[in-house]
Structure 1
Amino acid sequence: MNLTDVAGRVTGVLSSRFLLVAYLPVLAGALPLVVLVWAGAPGGTPDFSGAWETAGSLGIGESLVLVLALLVPAFLLQSLQLSLHTLWREGPPWRWWRRRRSAFWQGRREALAERARLPADFPSLGPAERDAATARAWPAASRLNRRFPPAGTPTRPTALGNLLTAMEHSAGRAHGWDAAVAWPRLYPVLRDPARSLVDDARDALDQAIGLATVMSLCAPLSLALLWPSGWWTLLTLVPAILAVGAYRAALRSAATYAVAVHGAFDLHRFDLLRALHLQLPADPAGERALAAALCDLWRQDFPLPPDTRYHHGEPIGGP
């Protein structure tokens, strides 16, 4: 194997997504801890001038070893992406905590639903009064639909879990699709710019979750290093604040991701039908019936209706 092959394989492993989603969060968490160790922690007042001198004295080989050493936790972080998503969506695995937090968000959902409800005498109001009532209810209704799953669906213990669950219940629903089972089939047939929007939003979400995880681990490790250092212990608040900020960034990224997924269903759902070699429906009612049948097939292995016919004449991306 020549140098070109090695470089090609390294480039394939160290993709831009890996660097963005896994390596940069690990670097952001590890670098402050390394600086603290170089500054003499634990063991008294940190000497950051000594840390600067140590950093400046590193040779190319030592710097390269440090950079490569971070690849191990970065690969671990990447391999745990799905587990971390579950953790930040569901919270710690304590039943009492999850019950209490789910009840809290259930109360928030009910309060928003009350604010979004139009008055009982709405039909009898004049045009100006109806416009005013709609203007008061619309912000709450919009937030309710974006941030919470529909009524009758249990709330999740976290804000992120509720937001992503709302997306799974609403994306494509108006057209008859169940996003939870249809999305793994729709995503491979997406075309730009919809695919780029989805990928960018998902990368931002994964990066924020990774950074929140790393900073949540960095805070107690910083405390252990700074515990005997008096007021310097307050530096532990920095990673804690960054963890909170990263979680809030994850919420914003999840909202953007939800919009991108909704758009993907609106614009490319017929590309999925073409990829399945199915006849495109002639009207919305026919689409909803076909989408429901496909989702039943993927979810529960129900067979398609006997009158289903394949259509092999139109490629993906055709008119």
Structure 2
Amino acid sequence: MFGTITGVLDRRFVVNALLPAVAFLGLVVAVPISRYGASVGLAWWNRQSGSAQAVLGAAFVLAALVLAYVLDAAGAFSLTVAQGRWGSRGPGRVLAQRAAAWHHRKAQRAADDPELTPGRRDAMRLRYPPASAADEFQATTLGNVLHVAARYPHTRYGINAAIVWPRLYTVLPDSWAGTLGTIRSTLALHMTFATLLALLGPAAAVYLLLVGGQWWLVLAWYWGCAAAAWAAYRAALASAQLYATYTAVTFDAHRLQLRTKLGIDGPETPEQWAALARFWHRNIPLDAEVAEPPTATPRASRGGRTLRPSTAWAVFTLLAGVAGALLAMSM
């Protein structure tokens, strides 16, 4: 069955969008069943005529396909939000700055801790930029991990990863490109589940409040979905760290193959990679002399209050869950 479906639809679409959509709609159906009982749900289904059941089944399939296409189209936006890019102005920008400042101070404390074990120090190095680069910190841990992955080829070889990566990908062996694609798909899958579960918890709690569900059922759905969403996000973070490692290895092991394919001779230098990036991105000839802008002096840590994203999310979830439970008990 799965082989037939993936033969008609793209396998990535099926795994990263269609299966999460089906699982999400299944949980949506389970919400009223948890309120009224499985026997009531089965009795209602058996009272429907055969044609009505066929229409309901077709509607479920159609809803799953529509939701899957929405999830597939919104995947890049979801990942952007998860990286802490919450807008260039307004409250989103302020929250992102506060959260980034918290991550920077965490990295600064780790860098200044003489008792930090080598293993923990290496883990922090894979998770955060150097503490001296205060302006490079992102608002979320996932954003920092992916930023470190993009930062590595520039600091090591002078390569602009955003410009060179699409061209480097064309020279990768099929097996290695497949491994990168699998890790990337796993990251996207976990983020999809995290997004859907984060939306389902509050929606299920509100529905149960409106239909007079028990307080413990409201809490079970709300906090259960919140915990599952957090677990999915942590899984996405682990996939992002693995993807960052494999991305670094890709530049280490295959960048010279790109130079060979382009017919570039001579020693490899950061200036050569910078000239290629300018040629590809701005159409500036390779032999043109370009005055580079002066290197900006890293600024100190942002002042003011900081905001730990996970703590803020946990506090909000706790307060909203308690409020929902109290409301359910009073109804």
Q: TM-score, normalised by structure 1?
A: 0.76
Amino acid at match of 2:98: R
Could you say which residue in structure 2 is the equivalent of 1:214? Answer: 196
Letter in 2 for 1:229: G
Q: What amino acid is the match of 2:129?
A: P
Aligned position for 1:47: 37
Q: 1:52 to 1:251 in 2, by over 3 A?
A: farther
> Equivalents in 2 of 1:139, 1:299: separation in Å?
39
Q: Secondary structure at the match of 1:90?
A: coil
Distance 1:297 1:68, change over 3 A: same
1:95-244 equivalent positions in 2, closer than 5 A: 95-115=93-113, 138-150=118-130, 151-152=132-133, 153-171=135-153, 173-227=155-209, 228-230=212-214, 231-234=216-219, 235-244=221-230
Q: CA deviation at 1:48?
A: 2.4
- CA shift, 1:60, in A, is 6.1
Task: Tell me which amino acid in the other structure corresponds to 1:164.
Answer: L
Equivalent positions of 1:68-87 (< 5 A) are 68-87=62-81
Which residue of structure 2 lines up, in the alignment, with residue 35 of structure 1? 30
Distance 1:84 1:155 in 2: 19
Q: Is the 8 A contact 1:208 1:247 kept in 2?
A: yes
Q: Distance in 1 between matches of 2:100 and 2:41?
A: 46
Shift of 1:111: 1.4
The aligned counterpart of 2:311 is none
- Distance of 1:261 and 1:172 partners within structure 2: 12
Alignment of 1:263-282 (within 5 A): 263-275=249-261, 277-281=262-266
* Residues 1:173 and 1:296: Cα distance change in structure 2 (over 3 Å): farther
Deviations 1:53-88 (A, max 9, x none): 567888566434412321101101111111111111
Aligned partners of 1:212, 1:260: CA distance in 2, in Å? 23
Q: Unaligned 5+ residue runs, structure 2?
A: 290-331
- Structure 2 counterpart of 1:14: 9
- CA, structure 1 residues 302+91, in 2 after alignment: closer, same or farther (shift >3 Å)? closer
Is the alpha carbon distance of 1:304 and 1:213 closer, same or farther for their aligned partners in structure 2, counting shifts above 3 Å? same
Identity %: 28
For 1:49, give the aligned amino acid: S
Contact 1:194 1:260 in 2 (8 A): no
Q: In the TM superposition, what whole-angstrom CA distance separates every residue of 1:89-134 from its partner, at most 9, and x where no partner exists? A: 116442231121111001011112223x7xxxxxxxxxxxxxxx9x
- Give the 3 Å change call, closer, same or farther, for CA 188–60 of structure 1 in structure 2: farther
CA, structure 1 residues 106+14, in 2 after alignment: closer, same or farther (shift >3 Å)? same
Alpha-carbon distance, 1:137 to partner = 5.2
What RMSD, in angstroms, separates the aligned Cα atoms of the two structures?
A: 2.9
Q: Is the partner of 1:171 in helix, strand or coil?
A: helix
| Higher RCO, 1 vs 2 (CA within 8 Å, ≥6 residues apart) | 2
Post-superposition offset of 1:197: 1.4
- Tell me how far apart the structure 2 counterparts of residues 65 and 237 of structure 1 sit (CA, whole Å): 29
Q: 1:138 to 1:180 in 2, by over 3 A?
A: farther
Following TM superposition, where does structure 1 have runs of at least 4 consecutive aligned residues deviating by more than 6 angstroms? 55-58
Structure 1 pair 138/305, CA: closer, same or farther in 2 (3 Å)? Answer: farther
1:15 to partner: Cα distance = 1.1
Partner Cα distance (1:223, 1:216) in 2: 12
Mean CA deviation greater in 153-162 or 293-302: 293-302
After TM superposition, the score normalised by the length of structure 2 is 0.73
Q: 1:172 to 1:60 in 2, by over 3 A?
A: farther
Q: Which residue of 2 aligns with 1:4?
A: none
Instruction: Output the CA distance in 1 between the equivalents of 2:280 and 2:43.
Output: 61
